[in-house]
Chains A and B, each alone.
Chain A
Amino acid sequence: MNTTVATTGTEGKAWGGGNLPLKSSYGKMMMWFFIVSDALTFSGFLAAYGFSRFKFIDSWPIADEVFTHVPFFHGNYPMIYVAFMTFILIMSSVTMVLAVDAGHHMNQKKVTWYMFLTVIGGVIFVGSQAWEWNTFIKGEYGAVQTNGGNILQFGEYVDVEGEQKFKRVAIADFAKVAHGDRVQHENKNGIWYESEGSLPEYSVDEVYNGLATNSNILIRNQIINEDGEKTVLSREESLKQLKADGKLVVHGANLKVNEYGSPLFADFFFFITGFHGFHVFSGVIINIIIFFNVIIGTYERRKNYEMVEKVGLYWHFVDLVWVFVFTFFYLV
């Protein structure tokens, strides 16, 4: 046999081949490289968000006033629900590491359980995000958009423990409804390629009449003052600005309008949390596949659980991205 194998005289030398300088398998290394490129994608999105935010630094929506809802509870609880979501995702990261660790010990039963818990955590997170989207799209109080694309919100000063606090008032609570002066434009009545979507619930005139009759209601615009709060206009200014600039009543948020402030805020919210949510969703799918592979004993027969480790890397990465999304959307 010796005659058929060429000896090159390079065995054991640095350039002789067969070295593993990174001491890592092909699959794991490729997962790391994918993660680096995906991290750059996400930082591109977040940096673009930062760009738009610096562009409108004096009028950007305040996240604490936007995301204040918790399912099944009424009232104002900023941050609580996202904090819960963050904790769920970190927790499912933990069960994932525990699955990887159990895999190192070739403990099929434990891997199965931990993978199961990881999938459950992921599903709860995606569900929470769907709920968060739904609340954001529906909106709460409604607002008026001006010709310049700015948002005018409504509210009144109320006495909270001896302090005057500005509280939002929903448009539905004060607008004076006039009957039947606005007809939806349909393409059969005019130019065939032009039609409009559903009409806003109220017209600007109705809101103006409501504002004129309720002397306690004031307008708050987008400009952030020195105290870090949005500016509240005086009664005369409120009436004047709504009359002169009011264009459209908006309720909730979508890609075109946003009752909480700059439409860009909504655009980036949908795009970035959507892209992240899609990552979580595909992570859940991959985790389910691995879960069934573990159950049918694929890795037991392969005699190693490295696949669990590779999927684990992806899953932790999703958690890692969320940590940053959480900071830049909800905290900063």
Chain B
Amino acid sequence: MAHEHKLAIFQGLIKFKSNITKIWGVLIFLTIITAIEVGLGIYKAELPQFFMDSFLGMKALNWIFIILTIVKAYYITWDFMHMRDETKALRRMVVWTAVFLICYLVFILLQEGGYIESVYTNGFIKKDF
């Protein structure tokens, strides 16, 4: 069993000497991202107004959280689960199936949740009694 690992991350910006140093490098990167998320979460109230502005139906800060999470998920899958070393076909089979179905599901549910909220708010339904 030959196990060849691709040792470059960030599109080849950082190249590691061995698989073990790559694992530690990815850990440091994931820790930094988590620290940024937690920092933003704790100091939510003191952040400049830009973060609280609504962007595509959600606060800009929430978009930042979601994007950082997807970045984390990418590195967990690619480097810890060795997706980087799998064939293109296997990678696409797994990733695109999940991504497509999840986007579909999330879109429908959030859309309908927003609709029901509008009925509660504008539909003469009394909620506070």
**A: which residues have CB within 8 A of B?**
21-24, 29, 32-33, 35-36, 39-40, 43-44, 47-48, 50-58, 64, 78-80, 83, 86-87, 90-91, 93-94, 96-98, 100-101, 104, 146-148, 150, 221, 228, 245, 304, 306, 312-313, 316-317, 319-320, 323-324, 326-327, 330-332
Contact = CB atoms under 8 A, between A and B. Distances in A.
Interface in B32-51: 34-35, 37-38, 40-42, 44-45
A14 to B, nearest CB: 14
Nearest to B69: A327
A319 B109 contact: no
19 contacts: A23-B87, A23-B90, A39-B102, A43-B105, A43-B106, A47-B106, A51-B110, A54-B113, A54-B117, A55-B120, A58-B117, A79-B41, A90-B27, A91-B27, A94-B23, A146-B128, A228-B52, A313-B81, A316-B81
B98 A39 contact: yes
A320 B73 contact: yes
A33 B98 CA distance: 10
A324 B41 contact: no
Contacts of A330: 41
Contacts of A320: 73, 76-77
B126 interface: yes
A242 to B, nearest CB: 13
B97 A98 contact: no
Contacts of A21: 87, 89
A319 B81 CA distance: 11
Given A40-B105, A83-B38, A312-B81, 11 more contacts: A22-B87, A39-B98, A40-B98, A54-B116, A55-B120, A87-B34, A90-B27, A221-B128, A313-B81, A327-B37, A331-B41
Contact of A56 (B34, B102, B117): B117
The interface residues of chain B, by DSSP majority, are classed as helix
A55 B117 contact: yes
Interface string B1-27: 101000000000000000110011001
B32 to A, nearest CB: 12
Given A32-B90, A51-B110, A320-B73, A64 B128 contact: no
In the complex, which of the residues A29, A32, A51 has the most CB atoms of chain B within 10 Å of its own CB atom? Answer: A51
Those 10 A-B pairs whose CB atoms lie nearest each other, nearest first: A54-B113, A51-B113, A51-B109, A148-B129, A327-B69, A83-B38, A47-B109, A43-B102, A22-B90, A104-B3
B110 A50 contact: yes
A50 B111 CA distance: 10
Contact of A79 (B19, B38, B52): B38
Contacts of B27: 90-91, 94
A35 B106 CA distance: 19
A147 B127 CA distance: 10
B54 to A, nearest CB: 12
B22 to A, nearest CB: 9
Contacts of B86: 22-24
Contacts of B41: 64, 78-79, 330-331
Nearest to B37: A331
Contacts of A101: 19-20, 23
